[in-house]
């Protein structure tokens, strides 16, 4: 029995579900892990995560396909990225096979919260890990907790597929040899002032430039960029300081192998942006959200695709990716992980 939720009108918010997964790391080893009903975490006042922000996370979604299966999209890549994040923050590795198994367990346990096919909503899955024992000198914790909770969500941006207006941020998201390429909570903490400022100025999101030269396009606070050239080539920024988006990597494959488009991952200079035909933000939460306007300190770049709807290539990418996720289109080997 599904929960009585107004699936069609969900935003991107937290709705507490009944079950979550938890595993503890102590004395150099992970315990076997279990599903628990307790949504609260009790920890010492000096826990590593509270003092020095030693926390990493992932984001993925469970979908109900047209034929009624619950599926997860490429969880092995989230597992791998979490291993990379953990290594960079001196945290223990939560094995990839256990990660995927834990995702399965938590989705199954929350089946009643997986939005029905056609509702437009999905079950957002949030794996995360943090240092939990007391740490006062600056060093990694010795004990960690790995958790996964789920929450049913609608579109990340209000208005769904309406083109967004974004601004070039005066703040940096990532340092040249910092942590921009991993999914660490600290990256998001330092983006909070930038996003509050952007919203206060009437913008939906920030475009971050590379902090070393401020000439190249990086990403937004929660998504990678995809651009479409006037001759229908797909271009995405290549950078060591952006998160390697699983959605972006999947869309590049879709563009090349399903839509027959030329694709290019390369440095993208801000000066080139005015010449593109379409711009989209891609990520698990954002899916692919169109950008209609980019404002650089009062100078407006209006994408030719306009402010009314997605550009035609962005729309094709969106339809193909969501078609694969919803089971309308055949998926590449290993992309769709069936839960039941
Ligand atoms: N970039 C940032 C900063 C993000 O937070 C996210 C979200 O996970 C992405 C990009 C998109 O990554 P993915 O497609 O793997 O969700
Ligand atoms: C995701 O897309 O899963 C993210 O983690 C992005 C976040 C801004 C919600």
Tell me which residue of 240, 207, 199, 203 sits closest to 223, measured CA to CA.
207
Considering 121, 153, 185, which residue would you say is the last residue of a domain? Answer: 153
Choosing from 74, 123, 156, 191 the residue with most ligand 2 atoms within 8 A of its CB, the one to mutate for a pocket test is: 156
Same domain, 134 and 168: no
The predicted structure's pLDDT at residue 159: 75
Query: What CA–CA distance (Å, rounded) separates 32 from 25?
Result: 10
Query: What CA–CA distance (Å, rounded) separates 18 from 112?
Result: 10
Residue keyed to tokens 């960029």: 225
Residue 118 burial (C-beta neighbours within 10 Å; 0-12, 13-18, 19+) = exposed
Same domain, 169 and 133: no
pLDDT tens for the chain, 340 residues long, are 899 999 999 999 999 999 999 999 999 999 999 999 999 999 999 999 999 999 999 999 999 999 999 999 999 999 999 999 999 999 999 999 999 999 999 999 999 999 999 999 999 999 999 999 999 999 999 999 999 999 999 999 987 789 999 999 999 999 999 999 999 999 999 999 999 999 999 999 999 999 999 999 999 999 999 999 999 999 999 999 999 999 999 999 999 999 999 999 999 999 999 999 999 999 999 999 999 999 999 999 999 999 999 999 999 999 999 999 999 999 999 999 999 7
Residue 43 burial (C-beta neighbours within 10 Å; 0-12, 13-18, 19+) = middle
Same domain, 132 and 240: no
Q: Are 48 and 131 in contact (CB under 8 A)?
A: yes
Question: Does 338 map to a domain?
Answer: no
**Residue 183 designated active-site:** yes
Considering 119, 153, 187, which residue would you say is the last residue of a domain? Answer: 153
SS3 call for 97: helix
Cβ of residue 222 lying under 6 Å from some atom of ligand 1: yes
Instruction: Give me the domain span that covers residue 126.
Output: 7-153
**CATH number of the domain to which 301 belongs:** 3.20.10.10
For residues 309, 310, 313, 317, the Cα torsion angle rounded to the nearest 10 degrees is -130
Same domain, 64 and 170: no
Same domain, 217 and 149: no
Choosing from 14, 56, 57, 59 the residue with most ligand 2 atoms within 8 A of its CB, the one to mutate for a pocket test is: 59
Question: Does 25 map to a domain?
Answer: yes
The predicted structure's pLDDT at residue 161: 83
Same domain, 147 and 231: no
Question: Does 158 map to a domain?
Answer: no
- Domains identified in the chain, total number: 2
Distance set, CA 119 to CA 21, 53, 123, 269, 328 (Å):
26, 36, 11, 39, 15
Q: Report CA torsion sign: 326, 330, 336, 340.
A: positive
The predicted structure's pLDDT at residue 270: 98
DSSP lists the bridge partners of residue 230 as: none
**CATH number of the domain to which 47 belongs:** 3.30.470.10
E-strand ranges in 231-286 read: 234-237, 263-266, 278-283
Same domain, 232 and 174: yes
């Amino acid at each position: 029995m599904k929960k009585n939720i107004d699936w069609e009108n969900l935003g991107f918010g937290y709705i507490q579900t009944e079950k979550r997964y938890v595993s503890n790391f102590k004395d150099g080893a992970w315990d076997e892990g279990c599903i628990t009903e307790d949504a609260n975490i009790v920890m010492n006042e000096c826990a590593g995560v509270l003092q020095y922000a030693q926390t990493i996370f992932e984001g993925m979604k469970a979908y109900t396909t047209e034929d009624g299966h619950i599926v997860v999209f490429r969880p092995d890549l989230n597992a791998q990225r979490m291993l990379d994040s953990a290594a960079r923050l001196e945290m223990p590795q939560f094995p990839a096979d256990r990660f995927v198994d834990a995702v399965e367990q938590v989705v199954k346990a929350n089946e009643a919260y997986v939005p029905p096919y056609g509702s437009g909503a999905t079950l957002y899955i949030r794996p995360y890990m943090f240092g939990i024992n007391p740490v006062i000198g600056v060093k990694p914790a010795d004990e960690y907790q790995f958790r996964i909770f789920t929450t049913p969500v609608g579109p990340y941006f209000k208005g769904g597929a309406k083109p967004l207006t974004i601004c070039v941020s005066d703040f940096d998201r990532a340092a040249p040899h910092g942590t921009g390429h991993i999914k660490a909570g600290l990256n998001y903490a330092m983006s909070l002032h930038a996003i509050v400022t952007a919203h206060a100025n009437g913008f939906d999101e920030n475009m971050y430039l590379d902090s070393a030269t401020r000439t190249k396009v990086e990403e937004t606070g929660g998504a990678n960029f995809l651009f479409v050239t006037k001759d229908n080539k797909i271009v995405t920024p290549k950078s060591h300081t952006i998160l390697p988006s699983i959605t972006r990597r999947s869309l590049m494959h879709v563009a090349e192998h399903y839509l027959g488009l030329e694709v290019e991952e390369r440095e993208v200079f801000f000066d080139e942006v005015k010449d593109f035909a379409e711009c989209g933000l891609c990520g698990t939460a954002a899916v692919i959200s169109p950008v209609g306007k980019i404002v650089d300190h009062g100078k407006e770049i209006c994408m030719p695709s306009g402010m009314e709807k997605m550009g035609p290539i962005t729309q094709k990418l969106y339809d193909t990716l969501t078609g694969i996720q919803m089971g309308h289109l055949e998926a590449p080997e290993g992309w769709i992980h069936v839960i039941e």
